[in-house]
Structure 1
């Protein structure tokens, strides 16, 4: 690590500690487990979560002012993560890392659907739901969130920060045709859905609430860790984070073709073209929602790359074309 990077890391860590000191309200002596939606491989149930110090419930009422919303969103980052805690589910154990995250690999035992995994440490217990794909699934869906399922302006850092920190569950705009597309592909739960985003894990429950209000399927999310440890400054780039998640989900569902959904604001065309080349024959369709800037030269090049490996692409300001073209891929249940 260079001297400059070390100084930046120390400064960022100091800011993180300052936010925690100002906004954290809770009991550092009591632990809680924050559960995330897990997923499954052919061999394992993968239960995920985070060990935190107990904090007071400070849920803002709906329709608050932008200032009240901003304060509430900052509180999402005022977490006290607890490292080196052993969590267990039956005979399986794991130890929380520097940012409190843990992953438990449990035997799958042929189970399908949503499986509730009870995870505990000391007096803290939580239920971590794990999605196991239906044997009748015809495809899987991996979708971006920002400017793909809901409007955030992620293509502009300032616009994204303003939207993220001044909005509420009630005010966030989820695209109606995105909900329609996802429901069609989800096929009443027969086809698994996964969301991948560069949003921080601190937004997990907030996104759950936004999605539930809009009617989007409950699904595992792959978000990013923006914590600052002694050897860590942020995490991987948006592209490598999303590409790694796609690879992981391809391996977890080796028999399913995938529909990849994204937008043109954060190089999703490039990420998905690379994935289609790494996994020949696995990408069924790519859907790209264009942002205000439309297609740039690289987007057009990546769409050509996808065409060269016989991957159809729907690209538009809305999802009408994708809805029409993908309807044939979702056959009625037998």
Structure 2
């Protein structure tokens, strides 16, 4: 993310220049998510210059994966592109931002929750922009406000082995592996299937990674047979402060996304899953403080030692009525055993 952030002014200026002189290649719209409740649907996508990316494979070597990573990060986002978004019989025209992101929301109807819907995206024709294909589509994930259970999970060092506390190891894994060769923690697929009752309940992935890793994360979850759900990553929002923080992203964005999910589904109680490597325990404790009774349990994978000061802080934050247990585990099997003992999943 550091290179992505520091190179932003050059990439933005270059994309604007190529658009002005008609030298942009074919443009593609990458749907990111479409989900909501009975009242509203949130939609997000990216507009970027189409680039030929080889499909991930377990047979790819490190050099091939490094070249694929370079292509992923070198791809030009397309700012100021007009996109028509269609959903539930409604149409909106949205302008992409500096990083090519478009987002909007649509009104929904209570009776539609059990029906299947799609959101469509279409590039508005203009000089210098040639669409790769006429329309792109994404299935809408719609859940009732009073749906009983949901799961909110971090990704790095929670689902995906990332070594996020070691910048060198994390960087090497990011560029030398692909979606098929990155490794999950043992037991994650089974645990998440049990918590979601094999797809009956939703799972939301909230991470400080940027949107360039969206395709890798999505393909990884599919390949490893881990329950799929909306993936909420971090927008760049360039400023001088986050240039120097860009190694792991601004983790407060995760807190904002969790608050949004709690507001969107006021009747839903959540399991929160994360790791101790960064700020998940503190963020989740803050959520418990703000929303008593909304969290069923918290599972934190221990990937980094923490001192008594942090433990004392967490104990203070958890001294509230209806506070759930924050369970620190070394393995997914420990978390599953705790969930069985408390009847969160069947034994």
Query: What's the TM-score bracket when you normalise by the shorter of the two chains?
Result: 0.7 to 0.9
Shift of 1:187: 1.1
Question: Aligned partners of 2:210, 2:175: CA distance in 1, in Å?
Answer: 13
Q: Would you say the 8 A contact 2:146–2:267 is kept in 1?
A: no
Question: Aligned partners of 1:164, 1:325: CA distance in 2, in Å?
Answer: 32
Is 1:289 matched up with 2:293?
A: no
Q: Would you say the 8 A contact 2:179–2:220 is kept in 1?
A: yes
For 1:1-334, list aligned pairs within 5 A.
Answer: 12-13=7-8, 28-59=24-55, 61-88=57-84, 89=86, 90-110=90-110, 111-112=112-113, 115-122=117-124, 123=131, 124-133=134-143, 137-226=147-236, 233=243, 237-291=249-303, 293-309=304-320, 310-327=323-340, 328-330=343-345
In structure 1, the residue matched to 2:18 is none
In structure 2, the residue matched to 1:24 is none
Count residues in correspondence. 318
Over residues 242-281 of structure 1, what are the superposed CA-to-partner deviations in whole Å (9 max), with x where a residue is unaligned? 1111111111111111111000101211111111112122
Q: Structure 1 residues 29 and 66 mapped into 2: Cα distance closer, same or farther (>3 Å)?
A: closer
Shift of 1:299: 4.1
In structure 2, the residue matched to 1:5 is none
Shift of 1:105: 1.0
SS in 2 for 1:172: coil
Question: Aligned partners of 1:232, 1:286: CA distance in 2, in Å?
Answer: 28
Q: Structure 1 residues 10 and 121 mapped into 2: Cα distance closer, same or farther (>3 Å)?
A: closer
TM-score of the two chains, using structure 1 as the length reference: 0.85
Shift of 1:239: 2.4
Q: Would you say the 8 A contact 1:59–1:72 is kept in 2?
A: no
Over residues 118-163 of structure 1, what are the superposed CA-to-partner deviations in whole Å (9 max), with x where a residue is unaligned? 1212354111232112578421111000110011100122221111
In structure 2, the residue matched to 1:3 is none
SS in 1 for 2:182: coil
RMSD: 3.1
Q: Would you say the 8 A contact 1:93–1:104 is kept in 2?
A: no
Q: Would you say the 8 A contact 1:39–1:46 is kept in 2?
A: yes
SS in 2 for 1:304: helix
Gaps of 5+ in 2: 16-22, 125-130
Question: Aligned partners of 2:14, 2:185: CA distance in 1, in Å?
Answer: 32
Question: Aligned partners of 1:43, 1:307: CA distance in 2, in Å?
Answer: 33
SS in 2 for 1:34: strand
Q: Choose 157-166 or 300-309, whichever is displaced more.
A: 300-309
Shift of 1:70: 1.3
Shift of 1:12: 3.6
Question: Aligned partners of 1:99, 1:218: CA distance in 2, in Å?
Answer: 25
Question: Aligned partners of 2:144, 2:190: CA distance in 1, in Å?
Answer: 21
Q: Structure 1 residues 301 and 70 mapped into 2: Cα distance closer, same or farther (>3 Å)?
A: farther
TM-score of the two chains, using structure 2 as the length reference: 0.82
Question: Aligned partners of 1:260, 1:109: CA distance in 2, in Å?
Answer: 29
